Structure formats: structure tokens, C-alpha cells
Amino acid sequence: MTDIRTERMEKRLWGLSVPDLAAHPTVYAPDLLKGQRLLISGGGSGMGRATAVLAVRLGAEVMICGRDGEKLDRAAEEIERATGARILTRAMTIRDPEQVSAVMDDAFDELGGLDALVNSAGGQFPIEAIDLTPKGWNAVVDTNLNGTWHMMQAAARRWRDAGVPGSIVNIVATIDRGIPHSAHTAAARAGVVYLSKSVAVEWAPLGIRVNALAPGTIETEGLNNYPPAMLSRLGQGNPMRRMGDTWDIAEGVVYLTASSGKFVTGELLQINGGMHLWGTNWPLGVPESFRGTGG
């Protein structure tokens, strides 16, 4: 096993811990996000949680949301213990427009306004497309496309009504060449990318910037949802032949969110070791006809 640490494989302890993140060097000035207020969906784990840690380290006020309230509270407690910053949490599902509207109202009320939305909530499961059931398809599309849209539109309407600018970063996936064994999520993410491009134009006059960020294979606890056999190959499916980490993503989100991104909208930032150019994960194993091809 090259890039996958054996201990993490065996204990399935993926990714950077909150203490790791709190101490991690950053390229950004300490007060870069001072006074900024962020809502981060999926902020209880993985890339969302890493983004929350970096944001509070840079002076932002943060609310995180997700389905599992205990996970959110655990993340908030770890972040407060490691950084001294208190963050707000809301248990909800992005798939329900009414719950999205409520969490958006809470964010604007309790943070005293909102400057940026980060949509990290999402997920999928590996399956051969031909075996997908309507329920499975709908679950992934409803989460990753519809849910992301509900969050985007709810934030944009409130920024428009308040006459203030905003920024949205949508975490998607590397979809340039499709995602074999995850066609449902490739379709949903492609939808989010072109949704982002479309409203980046429509909402520019409102001062709302909208960008997408495509991770490659990133070491997070979300990988525990994948077959162990796949995990031993993870990270090989890109030219850099290794996995990225959640800090790579968090610093990419901050680049797009902070003043560094003030003239960037409708963009797709790929943080994936070149995965959009070469390499395939094959989550369910490399099919016979592709063995030995390196693809």
C-alpha cells in the first residue's frame, strides 16, 4: 500500500482530526475571514468540517448543518476545544426545502447575516449503473443536485432581499470523464456544475458569486462507505498517484470565498491530482476488459 497509512486502513480512521486541522500550517493571513459569516452544509465531517476549522482560524463565524445532530455537536465541541471558537449547529436534511429555508433563516438571524455558503453535504454509493434502482438514483440525485439547489436558492433569495452580496462554493466531484460505478453522482454533480455556471451569470448583478470545487479522491471518513477492496487502490487513479487531504479542499474553498476570489464566478476549481486528465477509481473493482490498461 503506497499512500494509504496501514493504521488508518485497519482502524478505518480516515482523514485529518480536528486537532490536526487546528495546528495545520496555512497559506492564509490569520485574519483573512475576520467578520465573515459562513454556513457550511456537511460541516460535521470531512471536507466541511475541515473548512469550518480553517474558517474559524481565519476569524470567521460559522454554522454547520447536516442530518446527524450528534455528529454536528461532536464536531462543534472538538472545534471549540481545539480553536476556542464556538460554532453553531443545525440538524436538517438538504433534501427538504422547508428545512433548508428554516436553517437559512436561522443562519441569517443567529450570525447576524451571511456572507458565504459552502455546500459540502452530499454522498453516493458505488454501483454499476445498469443495476441502479429508481430509489437509489433518486436518493443520490435528490441529495447532491436537488439538495444543493435548495441551499443555493435559499441563500440567494435572502441576499437579494437584503440587498447584500454573497458567495457560494459547491463541492462536487471530478466528472470530466464521467465516474464509472458512480454514474448517478456524476450526473448529479454535472448538474450542479452547470447550475453554478448558469446562476453565476444571472446572479452577478446581485453581487452573488457562485463556484464549484471538484475534489479528487480525498482522505475523509466518508471513505468508510466504500468497499475495503477499493480502499487499497484509492489514490492511484490520478497522475499524482496519491490521495489528497481535507486541508487541500478547505484552502481551495477559502480561496474562492475570500477576497482572493472576488473576481471569480462560474468557475470549476479542480483539486484532484490531475484526475480529470487520467486515472479511474473503479470503486467496485477493475472490470476484466479494463485490466492492464492503466485507465
Ligand X SMILES: NC(=O)C1=CN([C@@H]2O[C@H](COP(=O)(O)OP(=O)(O)OC[C@H]3O[C@@H](n4cnc5c(N)ncnc54)[C@H](OP(=O)(O)O)[C@@H]3O)[C@@H](O)[C@H]2O)C=CC1
Kindly state the cell numbers that stand for 202.
444571472
Alpha helix stretches (DSSP H) within 14-165: 18-23, 46-57, 69-83, 97-110, 134-141, 148-162
Grid-cell match 447576524, residue found: 112
For residues 34 to 73, the per-residue mask of contacts with ligand X, x marking binding by CB under 6 A and - elsewhere, is: -------xx-xxxxx-----------------xxx--x--
- Under DSSP, the state recorded for 111 is T
- Report in angstroms how near the CB of residue 174 gets to ligand LGGBLMCM at its nearest: 8
Nearer Cβ to ligand LGGBLMCM (155/179): 179
Q: Report how far residue 50's alpha carbon sits from residue 79's, in angstroms, rounded to the nearest whole number.
A: 10
User: 196-200, long-range: CB within 8 Å, 24+ apart, which pairs?
Assistant: 196/168, 196/170, 196/266, 196/268, 197/266, 199/152, 199/156, 200/265, 200/266
Q: Do residues 259 and 35 make contact, with C-beta atoms less than 8 angstroms apart?
A: no
Question: Of ligand X, ligand LGGBLMCM, none, which one sits near residue 221, judging by CB under 5 to 8 A according to partner kind?
Answer: ligand X
Kindly state the cell numbers that stand for 289.
476488459
For residues 221 to 250, the per-residue mask of contacts with ligand X, x marking binding by CB under 6 A and - elsewhere, is: xx----------------------------
- Report in angstroms how near the CB of residue 273 gets to ligand LGGBLMCM at its nearest: 13
- Under DSSP, the state recorded for 147 is I
Strand, helix or coil for residue 218: strand
- Report in angstroms how near the CB of residue 122 gets to ligand X at its nearest: 2
Q: Report how far residue 248's alpha carbon sits from residue 176's, in angstroms, rounded to the nearest whole number.
A: 20
The sheet that has 166-171: what strands, in order across it? Answer: 88-91, 61-66, 37-41, 116-119, 166-171, 208-215, 268-271
Question: Of ligand LGGBLMCM, ligand X, none, which one sits near residue 31, judging by CB under 5 to 8 A according to partner kind?
Answer: none
Neighbours of 236 (CB within 10 A): 19
Give contact residues for ligand LGGBLMCM (rule: CB under 6 A): 123-125, 127, 133, 135-136, 139-140, 143, 173, 179, 182, 185, 217, 220, 222-223, 225, 281, 283
Tell me which residue has its CB nearest to ligand LGGBLMCM: 222
- Report in angstroms how near the CB of residue 259 gets to ligand X at its nearest: 25
Question: Of ligand X, ligand LGGBLMCM, none, which one sits near residue 44, judging by CB under 5 to 8 A according to partner kind?
Answer: ligand X
Nearest to 147, CA basis, from 124, 180, 178, 166: 124
Q: Report how far residue 271's alpha carbon sits from residue 49's, in angstroms, rounded to the nearest whole number.
A: 17
- Report in angstroms how near the CB of residue 192 gets to ligand LGGBLMCM at its nearest: 14
Nearer Cβ to ligand X (42/126): 42
Question: Of ligand X, ligand LGGBLMCM, none, which one sits near residue 83, judging by CB under 5 to 8 A according to partner kind?
Answer: none
Residue 79 touches ligand X, criterion: CB under 6 A: no
Report 91-130 residues binding ligand X (CB under 6 A): 93-95, 120-124
Q: Contact positions toward ligand X, by CB under 6 A? A: 41-42, 44-48, 66-68, 71, 93-95, 120-124, 143, 147, 171, 173, 215, 217-218, 220-222
